[in-house]
Chain A
Amino acid sequence: MAYEKFNILKSTAVPLPIENIDTDQIIPARFLKATERVGFGDNLFRDWRYDSDDNLNENFVLNNSIYSGKILLAGKNFGSGSSREHAAWAMYDYGFRCVISSFFADIFKNNCLNIGVLPLRVKQEDLDYILELVFENPSIEISVDLLNQKLLIDEKEFERYFEINSHKKNNLMNGLDDIDYLANIRDEIIDFSKKIPF
């Protein structure tokens, strides 16, 4: 499924400084019954956004109108647990294009990269600093420059380089995915398969 190309993202951010947020929180299993990729954003953080009677939980950050934006700031080990790509779809569908955290779970990170959400890893001290800035001033603008691999907060002259492998970077910047890449080397794969005994 095609996604919007990622180049320079300038946005305010939503702070969610909880550690070990697992994919069951991002999207609970009971919302995985769809056979099409639509509407997952409605159920992003479902059990934190709504109480058991489906009333909005006013205390949850996504329901706090002070905070908005295309960037989520999340605590260490974000996206642990299940491999459900629905978690990444829910993020994208809700409107997040980038998650900044000090640590990402592996499968979730890959899923994000495959569908056009940038998992951006910073040092814990930088995450704490950015969180502090956003709590102080929810309208502070954060920039993500993917080409130059830089995270910037101009107002504070804050600048950090971040890592991403060049293949995934190229995919994100051009809206490409690996399904097409692999389809293009099909013959090479078929040849290779003959070497595998079973």
Chain B
Amino acid sequence: MGKTLFDKVWDKHVVRSIKDGPDVLFIDRHMVHEVTSPVAFRGLENRNLKVLFPKKTFATADHNTPTLNQHLPVKDPLSSKQLLALEENAKKHNISYWGLGHKKNGIVHVIGPEYGITLPGTTIVCGDSHTSTHGAFGAIAFGIGTSEVEMVLSSQCIMQQKPKRMRISINGKLQKGVTPKDVALFIISKLSASGATGFFVEYAGKVFEDMSMEGRMTVCNLSIEMGARGGMIAPDEKTIEYIKDREFTPKGNTWKNALKYWNSLHSDMDANFDKDISFDGSQIDPMITFGTNPGMGISILNKIPNYTDQSDNEKSYKRSLNYMNFQEGENMIGKKIDYVFLGSCTNGRIEDFRAFSNIVKGKKKADDVIAWLVPGSHKVRNSIKEEGILEILNDAGFELREPGCSACLAMNDDKIPAGKYVISTSNRNFEGRQGPGSRTLLASPIAVAAAAITGKITDPRKYL
């Protein structure tokens, strides 16, 4: 029996297996941020433990950072204290720290790939559920809790039961105007917000082969939104081309040996999946969500379905529509929006800004729309400037902020006010996710751009 891509990487990292219990899994890369780490560092001190492999640990500040005036001291005393705690912990334990204002600073899942920290065939964890992003490179990457952060800091291992394997194959050709975000929202709408819980997903087929690395990151990023621990895509020439010569990518002989390993990273023909699902890529439309979990997504052209069509129970479904102040049977097209948010670890990369700017070029932002455009990292921000995108954005009435997680989780000041509608490229439309009482519609960067200029939900294909 052949092995799946997931099995090949997992099995290589098992230090020991406990009977009727978890595996002890070795972790190659540990990304750390300010919010889920302070209690873990405190735990180490209480137990008198050290960080076992500081060189495999990378710290950055992103969740709780301002996106305006980053050169000034952080105003909120709690946020400031949390940032300082990470800086001190990193220093004390000899961990690299790309804090606020550092030229390599950015969202943890954006900077990992940018600097070659993310590599095929590795195991990557972070105290953040969207760690699944790194699976785009053929890595096993997933989010962990703070106790597990403490485990990885102290032992470079965590204890996990091996998940089941699911393959999602999409073949066919995507229609023009259908982006990786739409593909992911489509899959989640089919499987529901819990449909992949207990599984690790491999995305396969022509649609993913054709996708850019950044597109693959968007898809893998959203794996958690259907409950999967992570998602991964077999590395190919595009992957190797992307990682080549980045700062932390292996060089010389290590690179040559790594290539041999990476070439073996694909599911064998006779590999067995616990669940094998396929879709036709040509049937996917631009997507939008209408409810309060990412499984509540539909084609942007469709009407809001009746609850009987859904997997959630009636009470929860109606509660969700009630929160959004939407009715069953309403059109999504034409609904007024108040805010737009372009950014996050899902869609805060340079290709997302290129796509957004292509739509708004030569047009004007709708007057009554407030737009927050937040790059995923300084590197992305610099590219936006160097490629002339900033000028296009400014001419169309948009401003660019400084990098961070921002309104995706609204931990900093970037909060959407209660009752307001935001069309967002981020990953979660939960109640209050983008600010207490805020109402989120998840969509692709181009759908967000189209809404930004019209002030309402608009089929982005009109502007292509």
Contacts and interface: CB of A to CB of B under 8 A. Distances in A.
Interface of A: 1, 17-20, 22, 24-25, 28-30, 32-37, 47, 52, 75-77, 80-86, 88, 103-107, 110-111, 114-115, 165-168, 177-183, 185-186, 188-190, 192-193, 196-198
Interface string B20-50: 1110101010000001101100110011010
B250 interface: yes
6 contacts: A1-B46, A24-B433, A80-B293, A82-B428, A179-B43, A189-B52
B318 to A, nearest CB: 11
Contacts of A1: 39, 43, 46
Given A20-B293, A29-B411, A106-B229, A198 B18 contact: no
B67 to A, nearest CB: 15
B81 interface: yes
B194 A22 contact: no
A25 B431 contact: yes
B254 A198 contact: yes
Interface of B: 12-13, 15-16, 18-22, 24, 26, 28, 35-36, 38-39, 42-43, 46-47, 49, 52-53, 63-64, 76, 78-79, 81-82, 85, 119, 122, 127-129, 131, 142-148, 150-151, 154-161, 163, 193-194, 197-198, 224, 227, 229, 250, 254, 257-258, 261, 292-293, 295, 312-313, 315-316, 319, 409-411, 418, 428, 430-433, 436-437
Given A20-B316, A183-B155, A107 B418 contact: no
Nearest to B226: A80
A198 B28 contact: yes
B229 A107 contact: yes
Contacts of B154: 179, 182-183
B159 A85 contact: no
Contacts of B53: 193
Contact of A36 (B16, B42, B145): B42
Contacts of B20: 165-167
Given A29-B411, A35-B85, A198-B258, A77 B151 contact: no
B52 A198 contact: no
Contacts of A114: 145, 147-148
Nearest to A198: B250
Contacts of A198: 28, 119, 122, 250, 254, 258
B247 to A, nearest CB: 13
Nearest to A184: B155
A38 B163 CA distance: 32
Contact of B428 (A35, A81, A88, A110): A81
Given A103-B194, A165-B161, A197-B261, A177 B312 contact: no
**Residue in B38, B147, B156, B293 with the greatest tally of chain A CB atoms within 10 Å:** B147
A19 B295 CA distance: 13
B145 A193 contact: no
A34 B82 CA distance: 7
B36 to A, nearest CB: 7
B63 to A, nearest CB: 8
B334 to A, nearest CB: 27
B155 A182 contact: yes
Contacts of A80: 193-194, 227, 293
Contacts of A181: 159
A83 B296 CA distance: 21
Contacts of A88: 145
Contact of B432 (A28, A75, A193): A28
A118 to B, nearest CB: 15
B409 A29 contact: yes
A106 B198 contact: yes
B414 to A, nearest CB: 11
B151 A35 contact: no
B64 A33 contact: yes
B42 A182 contact: no
Given A107-B229, A198-B122, 10 more contacts: A20-B292, A22-B430, A24-B428, A33-B79, A34-B78, A166-B19, A182-B159, A183-B154, A185-B24, A196-B12
**Residue in A36, A103, A193 with the greatest tally of chain B CB atoms within 10 Å:** A193
B109 to A, nearest CB: 13
Contacts of A17: 315
A36 B24 contact: no
Contact of A183 (B49, B258, B261, B410): B49
A73 B26 CA distance: 35
Contact of A77 (B18, B43, B197, B430): B197
B134 to A, nearest CB: 14
A19 B411 contact: no
Given A33-B411, A167-B22, A19 B313 contact: yes
A83 B409 contact: no
B250 A177 contact: no
A175 to B, nearest CB: 14
Contact of B144 (A35, A83, A188, A196): A83
Contact of B193 (A20, A52, A75, A188): A20
Contacts of B159: 167, 178, 181-182
B197 A83 contact: no
A168 B21 contact: yes
Contacts of B313: 19, 75-76
Contacts of B85: 35
Contact of A76 (B42, B161, B194, B258): B194
A25 B428 CA distance: 12
Contacts of A18: 315-316, 319
Nearest to A84: B36
B193 A32 contact: no
Can you list the 8 inter-chain pairs with the closest CB atoms, starting with the nearest?
A167-B21, A85-B145, A182-B155, A83-B143, A111-B145, A33-B78, A114-B147, A35-B38
